[in-house]
């Protein structure tokens, strides 16, 4: 069996980066930037006030000094003239600083009467002034290629005047579930049947990773049925199947993949849950055969399929965050495979503590619902309460 790192290396070494396309700015949310963005603007373009108050010359700001109010400048307006010695100009947040002024005194720090303003104390140069280029300067690389665009990045692109942006195309991912026992949504399970879970959890994982899922439905445990479904994936960039990749008489996915022309590169990874996993190439498509148990399918997707999809989109960072947490109870990983145990994380003054979600059976999907992360344990490891354990973080942490 391969190690997780060896399997991951083989997979990432074979996936291809997808093409670039131009999309409208709001359609770029969650997409991966294809080209670096270099600013052609200064932001802000001119010095401006960060407070409602009075623009002054700091040299005039003697405690108790009285300055003559000679104008008013609002956000979106331009000062009518430059400021001279002994003068002040009423100014509002975001308004351009008049020439000659080098500070702003907040309105609550002055006394006003008629056309004069009396200062209560000294004012330092540049007080409450946002300088030109404080945020962005011309020539700055504000976003490198490979960044996944979130709300802040979208706002920055809008600030720089980008109505469209170049991103990598989303991978189209065909998802197939196999098994005589599966009843799809809308069909009441008959005797000996269970609901089809994996199609929907895997398609949700594809969406969360940034891909476009396509359901191939459920194939029965017959070679001709599986190959017929695989043929429907011709327009996809990636094929992900679940179940049928172990060594039983009805585990036919590997044979079906070979029959439709796939070249299989690996089989079996030294991990639990999820040892039976297949990866191959079908012409220019990546092909994954994941285990059938719901938790095994989701965990192997996390470790292998998700980073492959991100790599195809040109993403700079392929991995979930990892932290060192303190075990709040004993954790054991018997056997000779690396364990990925579902844990709940809780914050305290010393960082994060990790507690098992409960029973770790690979068919207990509720354990994935409860899990904030996956604790990584070496083969045969015994972790005692208080020991440090590495955790792959699956959800945002409230620390």
Distance in angstroms (rounded) separating the CA atoms of residues 41 and 29:
22
Chain centre to alpha carbon of residue 345: 19
Average pLDDT estimate for 367-379: 97
In 202-361, DSSP assigns E strands to: 212-219, 238-242, 263-267, 271-272, 278-282, 285-290, 322-327, 331-332, 338-348, 351-356
| pTM higher than the cut 0.75 | yes
Average pLDDT estimate for 389-398: 92
Average pLDDT estimate for 380-391: 97
Encode pLDDT of 211-221 as tens digits.
999 999 999 99
Would you say 143 and 207 are in contact if contact means Cβ atoms under 8 Å apart? no
Would you say 4 and 300 are in contact if contact means Cβ atoms under 8 Å apart? no
Q: What is the pLDDT of residue 159?
A: 96
Q: What is the pLDDT of residue 399?
A: 55
C-beta neighbour count of 5 within 10 angstroms: 10
Distance in angstroms (rounded) separating the CA atoms of residues 195 and 262:
29
Which pLDDT band, with edges at 50, 70 and 90, does 306 fall under?
very high
For residue 397, is pLDDT > 90? no
For residue 200, is pLDDT > 70? yes
Would you say 372 and 395 are in contact if contact means Cβ atoms under 8 Å apart? yes
Domains of the chain by start residue, with CATH = 4-17+170-312 (3.40.980.10), 20-43+135-168 (3.90.105.10), 48-130 (2.170.190.11), 322-393 (2.40.340.10)
Phi and psi at residue 8, to the nearest 5°: -60, -40
Encode pLDDT of 120-175 as tens digits.
988 999 999 999 999 999 999 999 999 999 999 999 999 999 999 999 999 999 99
Would you say 310 and 325 are in contact if contact means Cβ atoms under 8 Å apart? no
Residue of 233 and 101 predicted with greater confidence: 101
Encode pLDDT of 357-372 as tens digits.
999 999 999 999 999 9
Instruction: Say which residues have a Cβ less than 8 Å from residue 191's Cβ, sequence separation at least 6.
Output: none
> Cβ-count burial of 20 within 10 angstroms (0-12 exposed, 13-18 middle, 19+ buried)?
middle
For residue 187, is pLDDT > 90? no
The continuous run of DSSP H or E covering 37 comes out as strand 37-38
Q: What is the DSSP letter of 199?
A: H
Q: What is the pLDDT of residue 114?
A: 83
Encode pLDDT of 55-111 as tens digits.
999 999 988 899 999 999 999 999 999 999 999 999 999 999 999 999 999 999 999
Distance in angstroms (rounded) separating the CA atoms of residues 153 and 308:
23
């Amino acid at each position: 069996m391969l190690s997780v790192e060896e399997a991951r290396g083989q997979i990432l070494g074979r996936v291809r980066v997808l093409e670039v396309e131009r999309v409208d700015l709001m359609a770029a949310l969650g997409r991966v930037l294809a080209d670096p963005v270099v600013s052609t603007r200064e932001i802000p373009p001119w010095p401006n006030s960060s407070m409602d108050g009075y623009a002054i010359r700091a040299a005039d700001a003697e405690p108790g000094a009285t300055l003559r109010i000679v104008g008013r400048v609002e956000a979106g307006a331009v000062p009518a003239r430059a400021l001279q010695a002994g003068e002040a100009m009423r100014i509002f947040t975001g308004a351009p600083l008049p020439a000659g002024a080098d500070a702003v005194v907040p309105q609550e720090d002055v006394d006003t009467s008629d056309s004069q303003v009396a200062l209560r104390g000294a004012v330092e140069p540049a007080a409450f002034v946002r300088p030109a280029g404080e945020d962005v300067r011309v020539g700055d690389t504000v976003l490198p290629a490979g960044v996944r665009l979130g709300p802040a990045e979208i706002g920055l692109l809008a600030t720089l005047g980008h109505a469209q942006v170049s991103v990598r195309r989303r991978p189209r991912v065909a998802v197939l579930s196999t098994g005589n026992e599966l009843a799809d949504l809308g069909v009441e399970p008959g005797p000996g049947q269970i609901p089809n879970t994996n199609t929907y959890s895997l398609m949700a994982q594809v969406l969360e990773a940034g891909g476009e899922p396509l359901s191939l439905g459920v194939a029965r445990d017959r070679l001709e049925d599986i190959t017929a479904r695989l043929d429907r994936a011709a327009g996809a960039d990636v094929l992900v199947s679940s179940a049928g990749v172990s060594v039983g008489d009805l585990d036919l996915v590997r044979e079906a993949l070979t029959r439709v022309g796939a070249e299989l590169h690996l089989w079996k990874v030294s991990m639990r849950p999820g040892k039976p996993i297949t990866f191959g190439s079908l012409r220019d498509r990546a092909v994954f055969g994941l285990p059938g148990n719901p938790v095994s399918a989701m965990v192997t997707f996390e470790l292998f399929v998700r980073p492959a999809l991100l790599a195809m989109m040109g993403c700079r960072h392929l991995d979930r965050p990892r932290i060192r947490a303190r075990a709040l109870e004993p954790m054991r990983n018997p056997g000779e495979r690396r364990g990925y145990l579902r844990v709940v994380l809780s914050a305290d003054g010393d960082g994060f503590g990790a507690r098992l979600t409960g029973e770790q059976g690979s068919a207990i999907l509720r354990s994935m619902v409860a899990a904030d992360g996956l604790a990584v344990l070496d083969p045969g490891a015994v972790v005692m309460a208080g020991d440090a354990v590495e955790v792959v973080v699956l959800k945002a942490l409230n620390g």
